[in-house]
Chain A
Amino acid sequence: MANISLGAEVVMPVEQRRGYWSSVVRRFLRNPVAVGCAVVLLALILAAIFAPYLDLADPYKGSMIKRLRPLGTDGFPLGTDEQGRDMLARLIYGGRLTLYIGLVPVVLAFFIGTALGVTAGYAGGFVNTLIMRVVDIFFAFPSVLLAIAISGALGAGIINSLVSLTIVFIPPITRVAESVTSSVRALDYVDAARASGAGAFTIVRVHVLGNVLGPVFVYATSLTSVCMILAAGLSFLGIGVKPPEPEWGLMLNTLRTAIYINPMIAALPGIMIFITSLCLNLLSDGLRSAMNVKD
């Protein structure tokens, strides 16, 4: 029996050792569409952050005689809006607000929703019923309607928009987190961790969160574009950001009167929303496939 050498299993040629995240990055970089989208988004975010240093015109200062100049006018590469304000400056400054109210509610909802979903999924029983049925109530309303209702009740303003959009996005994230958690909870490695002495808190922190955060994160990325569109919608309806703040949704609303005079200018904020949300969606698709290491 001693002749059977222990450890004689064939050593598989393991590809060069990489950590989880570096292999995710490597796989992500192989996807040209996702990388392109990441570059566009990065450019938009950088432009938004460094807008004051870009030597742009004042986005609030209008001029009655220079209204609705077309694209390519001298000094106004993207023309001017209905009050003679520089569109390029307004679009870049508008990106600040739009990205801000597109991202913050999703980030907040990500934390709150994950906490609720993991609690519900891990505790099970009564706690699960309580949390998930409350969440179901929110699903009874279409998200746009819910956002409008909450924003309308709270009144216009950036903070209120953030609050209402956060509330809109907590239920779907909770639901995803709950379903992933309850599937992870039933797996052998959770039992194995318990068998090696891990308490409930350790199991949630190490094994549940470790396996739940990835899928929930990818799902949340895909919500960002929805959130931006909803935020723009709220501003468009006048219950989000108030004029004269530059914000893409609001600009779309104020420029809609000029659609017959200068349709290109009126379309610009919409194009920005389109590009940004498209890039966010493709980016989250790319992330999803890159993080699926086991495939």
Chain B
Amino acid sequence: MTSSPLLQIRDLNVRFHGERTVHAINGLNLSLGHGEMLGLLGESGSGKSVTLKTLLRLLPPKRTMIDGSIEVNGTDIMTLSGKRLSRYRGGDVSMVFQEPALALDPVYTVGEQIAETVMRHRGIGRREAMEVALDMLVKVRIPSPERRLKNYPHEMSGGMRQRAMIALALSCRPKLLLADEPTTALDATVQIQILLLLRELQKEFGMSIIFVTHDIGVAVEIADRVAVMYAGNIVEEGSIHDIIRDPRHPYTRGLLSANLHDVARGTRLEAIPGAPPALNIKPASCQFAPRCAHVMPACTSALPPFVSPGEGRRVACLLERGRELA
């Protein structure tokens, strides 16, 4: 949409050192425009959460090797430190966690926690900060916000806590919100409410959201664009419409067919055979090849290049090249 994207990740690699080395992210490229809602889709261990934590520089620096560049609004965030890093976290980019019961401090009221962040970023007094906190609770549509302001997290229901968490994350008007499976811990009716809330708030605040999920149904509900991750890299990216209508990568197709909808009673549910690879060596070939039904000899010899079959789409699969030639 705009000429310069809000977020630009180039060739990101994240490695964890320890008893064994894990190549969590391998050459990830991603860009995100202003006001865009991106769904990051993938199974456990595919590097979704690591990507988000890298964006906020939350990974333990001693055990993590990060290279590549991440630019948010034109600033390389890998160079930030001290005060500027603090201002960036929460100010420019903030995060909503998966489990709201754990992400709120049990010994402070919801109001105090929001006010704490507001005071830190805006340098205003406690009284004004509490007013901002109340305003935020109204924005996330918590019923009787005046009373909820003085509630401890354990006095609220799961959905209410997640609303409070969203209020906390948005209290300093970030340009980018990272949502790490914010609805996974909630039941289905509350889940849809939170999704709708996020959509409304996104329009109201004009921010961008990266929404991590392993539930393709949730991604369909909320995202404009979807990136499917596998073994630490994106394998397919495109608008939600294109991905659903015409999935190109065998992994994406597998994910879509492993869905309960439109499956006749009595037929076996389609599943992708095998398990995700261990990432203790840097991938040199297609990581999905061992599980792929269309595997070719060339798949195991080199990394598949990205092919763009259409506007705003890319797929990392050798099948695409065959299709292009044909």
A-side interface residues toward B, CB under 8 Å? 1, 4, 6-12, 14, 17, 19-20, 125, 187-189, 191-199, 202, 206-207, 210-211, 214, 293-294
B-side interface residues toward A, CB under 8 Å? 56, 58, 62, 86-91, 94-95, 97-99, 102-108, 116-117, 120-121, 141-144, 147, 150-152, 154-155, 157, 159-160, 165, 168-169, 172, 190, 192-193, 196-197, 200
Contacts of A196 in B (CB 8 A): 89-90, 94-95, 117, 120, 168-169, 172
Partner of A195, one of B58, B105, B190: B58
Min distance, Cβ A216 to any Cβ of chain B, angstroms: 13
Q: Are B143 and A7 in contact (CB under 8 A)?
A: yes
Q: Are B105 and A125 in contact (CB under 8 A)?
A: no
Contacts of A189 in B (CB 8 A): 102-106
Contacts of B107 in A (CB 8 A): 20, 210-211, 214
A4-B192, A6-B200, A7-B141 given; A192·B147 CB < 8 A = no
Min distance, Cβ B218 to any Cβ of chain A, angstroms: 14
Contacts of B192 in A (CB 8 A): 4
- Closest-by-CB residue of B relative to A191 is B58
Contacts of A197 in B (CB 8 A): 86-91, 117, 120-121, 172
CA distance A125 to B172 in the complex (A): 34
A4-B196, A9-B160, A197-B87 given; A192·B144 CB < 8 A = no
Contacts of B62 in A (CB 8 A): 125
Pairs across A and B, CB under 8 Å, 30 listed: A4-B192, A6-B196, A6-B200, A7-B143, A7-B193, A9-B193, A10-B157, A11-B144, A12-B157, A17-B151, A188-B98, A189-B105, A191-B103, A192-B95, A192-B165, A194-B89, A195-B58, A195-B89, A195-B94, A195-B169, A196-B172, A197-B87, A197-B89, A197-B91, A197-B117, A198-B86, A206-B116, A210-B107, A211-B106, A293-B154
Contacts of A199 in B (CB 8 A): 86
Partner of A207, one of B105, B121, B144, B200: B105
Q: Are B117 and A6 in contact (CB under 8 A)?
A: no
- Closest-by-CB residue of B relative to A125 is B62
Contacts of B89 in A (CB 8 A): 194-197
With A9-B143, A196-B95, A206-B108 already in contact, 12 other A-B pairs whose C-beta atoms are closer than 8 Å? A4-B193, A6-B200, A10-B157, A14-B155, A17-B151, A195-B58, A196-B120, A197-B90, A198-B117, A198-B120, A206-B105, A293-B154
